[in-house]
C-alpha cells in the first residue's frame, strides 16, 4: 500500500487525480482504520491530517466556518458552536465516546455519508454549505445536494471537502437533536431527528419549521411536507399527531441489524412529535394543548 | 514500504519503522513492547486500548500509527511514579475494581485523563469519561467507587 501525507490541499488533490479510485482519504481514521483491518486495504492512503489550517472553527460571513479536520470534541469545546449552533453542539455531544470524539473529524463524518452520521441531519436543518474543492477549482453547494447515497457524495474520488459553512440560525429560533439508540451516545443512531423552528411575533404559531431525518433513507433527508404542514400554525395535539405520521411517511427506512424498518418508522413518528413539542414549549412557554 | 517515525511514550523517545497501514495499538504492543495497551474489539468500541495522545484519551486501535509521529503518548505503564502507583491504580486495588482485569488498563487511563482535566468530577463527568470503556464482567459500581476514592486522595 502506498502512503502519502500531503502538506497542502493542492498536493492532496493532485494525489487523488493521480490515484483515482485506488486512493482512500484518511483524517481521524475511526472508520477508515476499521475498513483497512476488515475490508480490502486501499491501493493508497492519502492522510490529510497534517494539512495545516483545515481544523479552524471561526466566525465568517454571518455564520461559522468549520474546517473539516476539526474533531467532534473540538466542536463540543468551541464556545462559538455551543452558543451559536446549539443544534450542532448537541449532535457532537451525543456522538460516540470521548475517545472517538477526540479522534473523529466532522469532515470524516460528512464524507463518510452514512445516513446515520450524527452531524448530518443537523447540517441539513441548519442549511449549511459544503466547500468542495477539485484540482480545477472550488465551489460551494448545499448539503442537500452533496449527499448522493450511502457512502456517495458529490466529491466522487477526486474532490476534497475543504470547509463547512453554517449560517447562524434566526434569532429566537429553537432546535433539538433527538437520537434513538440502545446504548446512548456509544451506539450508532437507529434514528436521529433534528427539529428547528421559530415562533411568530405574538408567539401563537410556529414559523420556518425545519425537520431533518437521519438513518431512515439512503441519505440524511429533510421532511418538506411535514415542515409545510406545521409551519405557520399553532401546535395542538392533533397537529402534532398528524406531523409525526407525516414525517414517518416521508422516511424510507431499511431493516438492518440495529432495527427493523417498521420500528424505525415508529421512532421517526415519536421523535418528530417530541421535537416539535419541545420547540413549541421553548418558543411559546406553553405546553401543547 | 517502511515508514520511520519518532515519538515519545511515557517520556521515552523512540524511533522505529512501521508499515503505513499499522494501527497505533499494534505498533505500541508489537514494535515498542507496551503490552499494557490491550487489544480487544479492534474497532474503537470497547476502550481496552485507550491511551493518552497529546493530552487526550483516544482508542489506539483506530488511530493510524503514522499519526503518532511527533506525538507525546502515555500508556498505563507510564502513570506510576516509580514504585508508587498512580492514585487511580491504587484505588482500583483498594476498592476491588478489578475482576478479570482485561479492561482495567483502558479504564485506568481514561480515569487518569479525567482527573487530569478536573480535580473533583461529578458522577456525570465519570460516566462520560468511561462511556467508551466496556467492562464485560460488569464491575462498574466498584470502578465508580475507585475514581471517587482516587479523587479524594488526590485532593
How do residues B75-125 score in pLDDT, each as one tens digit? 999 999 999 999 999 999 999 999 999 999 999 999 999 999 999 999 999
Say whether A98 and B43 touch across the interface (CB within 8 A): no
Query: What average pLDDT does chain B have?
Result: 97
pLDDT of residue A258: 87
Give the confidence band of B1 by pLDDT, cuts at 50, 70, 90: low
Q: Is B142 exposed, middle or buried (0-12, 13-18, 19+ CB in 10 A)?
A: middle
Give the confidence band of B59 by pLDDT, cuts at 50, 70, 90: very high
Residue of chain B with shortest Cα separation from A96: B132
What residue segments make up the domains of chain A, in order of their start?
2-167, 174-284
| List of chain B residues whose C-beta atoms are within 8 Å of the C-beta of residue A37 | 23, 42-43
Q: Could you tell me which residues of chain B have a Cβ less than 8 Å from any Cβ in chain A?
A: 1, 3, 19-21, 23, 42-45, 47, 50, 53, 56-59, 61-64, 66-67, 110, 128-129, 131-133
Choose, out of A98, A181, A188, the residue to mutate when testing the contact with B (most B CBs < 10 Å).
A98
The pLDDT > 90 percentage for chain A reads 93
Tell me the shortest Cα–Cα distance from A90 to chain B, in angstroms: 14
Q: B87-154 maps to which CATH number?
A: 1.10.150.120
**What average pLDDT does range A243-249 have in this prediction?**
98
Say whether A3 and B3 touch across the interface (CB within 8 A): yes
**Assigned CATH class of A2-167:** alpha beta
pLDDT of residue A182: 85
What residue segments make up the domains of chain B, in order of their start?
3-78, 87-154
| List of chain A residues whose C-beta atoms are within 8 Å of the C-beta of residue B58 | 99, 102-103
Say whether B132 and A33 touch across the interface (CB within 8 A): no
> Among A2, A36, A99, whose Cβ lies nearest the Cβ of B47?
A99
Q: What's the CA gap between B29 and A22, in Å, rounded?
A: 30
| List of chain B residues whose C-beta atoms are within 8 Å of the C-beta of residue A49 | 64, 67
The pLDDT > 70 percentage for chain A reads 100
Tell me, what's the ipTM? 0.96
**What average pLDDT does range A248-264 have in this prediction?**
93
Which architecture, in CATH terms, is A174-284?
Answer: 2-Layer Sandwich (3.30)
Contact (CB, 8 A) for A179 and A168: no
Q: Going by C-beta distance under 8 Å and a sequence separation of 6 or more, which residues neighbour residue A3? A: A44, A45, A47, B1, B3, B20, B21, B66
**Assigned CATH class of B3-78:** alpha beta
Amino acid at each position: 500500500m502506498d502512503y502519502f501525507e500531503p502538506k497542502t490541499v493542492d498536493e492532496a488533490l493532485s494525489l487523488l487525480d493521480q490515484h483515482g479510485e485506488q486512493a482512500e482519504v484518511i483524517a481521524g481514521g475511526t472508520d477508515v482504520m476499521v475498513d483497512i483491518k476488515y475490508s480490502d486495504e486501499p491501493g493508497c492512503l492519502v492522510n490529510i491530517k497534517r494539512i495545516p489550517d483545515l481544523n479552524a472553527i471561526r466566525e465568517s460571513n454571518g455564520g461559522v466556518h468549520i474546517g473539516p479536520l476539526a474533531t467532534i470534541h473540538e466542536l463540543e469545546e468551541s464556545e462559538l458552536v455551543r452558543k451559536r449552533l446549539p443544534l450542532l453542539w448537541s449532535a457532537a455531544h451525543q456522538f460516540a465516546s470521548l475517545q472517538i470524539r477526540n479522534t473523529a473529524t466532522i469532515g470524516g463524518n460528512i464524507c463518510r455519508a452514512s445516513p446515520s452520521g450524527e452531524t448530518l441531519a443537523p447540517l441539513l436543518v441548519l442549511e449549511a454549505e459544503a466547500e468542495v474543492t477539485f484540482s480545477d477549482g472550488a465551489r460551494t453547494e448545499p448539503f442537500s445536494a452533496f449527499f448522493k447515497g450511502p457512502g456517495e457524495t458529490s466529491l466522487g474520488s477526486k474532490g476534497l471537502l475543504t470547509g463547512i459553512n453554517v449560517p447562524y440560525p434566526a434569532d429566537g429560533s429553537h432546535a433539538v437533536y433527538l437520537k434513538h439508540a440502545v446504548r446512548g451516545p456509544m451506539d450508532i443512531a437507529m434514528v436521529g431527528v433534528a427539529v428547528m423552528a421559530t415562533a411568530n411575533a405574538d408567539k401563537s404559531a410556529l414559523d420556518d419549521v425545519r425537520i431533518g431525518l437521519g438513518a431512515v433513507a439512503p441519505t440524511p433527508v429533510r421532511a418538506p411536507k411535514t415542515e409545510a404542514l406545521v409551519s405557520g400554525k399553532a401546535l395542538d395535539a392533533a397537529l402534532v399527531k398528524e406531523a409525526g405520521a407525516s414525517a414517518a411517511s416521508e422516511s424510507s427506512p431499511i431493516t438492518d441489524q440495529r432495527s427493523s424498518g417498521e420500528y424505525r418508522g415508529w421512532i421517526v413518528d415519536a421523535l418528530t412529535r417530541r421535537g416539535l413539542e419541545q420547540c413549541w414549549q421553548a418558543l411559546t412557554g406553553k405546553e401543547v394543548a | 514500504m517502511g515508514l520511520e517515525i519518532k515519538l515519545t511514550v511515557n517520556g521515552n523517545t523512540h524511533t522505529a519503522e512501521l508499515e503505513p497501514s499499522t494501527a497505533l495499538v499494534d505498533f505500541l504492543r508489537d514494535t515498542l513492547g507496551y503490552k499494557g495497551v490491550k487489544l480487544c474489539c479492534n474497532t474503537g468500541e470497547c476502550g481496552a486500548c485507550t491511551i493518552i495522545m497529546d493530552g487526550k484519551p483516544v482508542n489506539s486501535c483506530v488511530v493510524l500509527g503514522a499519526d503518532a509521529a511527533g506525538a507525546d503518548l502515555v500508556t498505563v505503564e507510564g502513570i506510576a511514579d516509580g514504585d508508587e502507583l498512580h492514585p487511580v491504580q491504587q484505588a482500583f486495588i483498594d476498592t476491588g475494581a478489578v475482576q478479570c482485569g482485561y479492561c482495567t488498563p483502558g479504564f485506568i487511563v481514561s480515569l487518569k485523563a479525567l482527573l487530569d482535566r478536573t480535580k473533583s468530577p461529578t458522577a456525570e463527568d465519570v460516566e462520560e469519561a468511561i462511556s467508551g470503556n466496556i467492562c464485560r464482567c460488569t464491575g462498574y459500581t466498584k470502578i465508580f467507587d475507585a475514581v471517587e476514592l482516587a479523587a479524594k486522595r488526590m485532593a
